[in-house]
A and B are shown apart, each in its own frame.
Chain A
């Protein structure tokens, strides 16, 4: 009896943790790409977003751009908040210092997916190819999370 109660407690403690899946992780050359996620869209009229984490285990690397079949015009952008005002601007490349990681995350760097070809439906995935200067193209499955998502739904291993 005591044991089954204890087991139930342990299970209750573990269950929420298992709700976080492992992050899909792709390694190529010196870069490891993980925690790729986006938000569901309503229709295709508004641009979608792309967030991801890139770890660089080698010398300085550059993310030069992104490609995806779901959007005709995918671009790297950065949100800059200055004096309380936010603006978004196109960035030509994102530099990842040697033995460092860079996250594209809310409020900073992000992929802006314009001219959406398909609505992004919660629970599905779509491929995004990251174009690295040295490590070449790396494709990762990107999870479409609810519109209300604020972070990746997986535990980052980085």
Chain B
């Protein structure tokens, strides 16, 4: 290989040097591998084991077979509520991606101040979600929130709506806040996808008489597939990991109207100390994520490898 070019000239040392190099490579990889082993892989396996046990911090573990799953799937209404809420949350990802695509196309245009627009749209993404949740609680406030104020000023509603206390409105309200925060990230990913589309393709299509709409649907969109897939994966991860936003805005309430699988896992595990049941819910969460990533990969043409080919 090219990187060993310097060594090829010293065949006598080749073997020893190669061993040295190999040891060095694994030393470079070891710390990261250990972190991922301790905090990703091992927990995943342990979690699977836990889900088949009857376990709490105060009792020795006992093999429970499918008891936890049985209880969760057949007797636990809150689990099903959290399950469907998580799915709805995920189903909202394409809405955010579609908005972001529109914005990305606009800020890709050759206009003045486009860097400023990009910065403004992206700004909300790196912010602390706890603070964002508090800000949005205030936006939705029944008495003095900006949203009620605007809706009333426009004459769209007569009486103010207590969005976050309402069974019908609380989940959409949380989802809107979540899309608001992640929109900029989608935009940046899609923008880099747009910029990698060769300009000659557009010119050739224009010569062949394709109008702007046709160019968008026939060239831009198909070539954006890898970027769309990445957005889709990030969006799904986001809907699983929106713990902070839900915890701050509603804590799963009213009732369990905004309960997500992840908030339910937290409550089961760390409020009720039912680690075993929480582990079973976690397994469902993980399988759901795998299934949806697979489906998403299929839907976008199966080129997930193009996103991150090592």
Whether A and B are associated in the same complex: the answer reads no
Q: Taking beta carbons and an 8 Å cutoff, which residues of A are in contact with B?
A: none
Q: Taking beta carbons and an 8 Å cutoff, which residues of B are in contact with A?
A: none
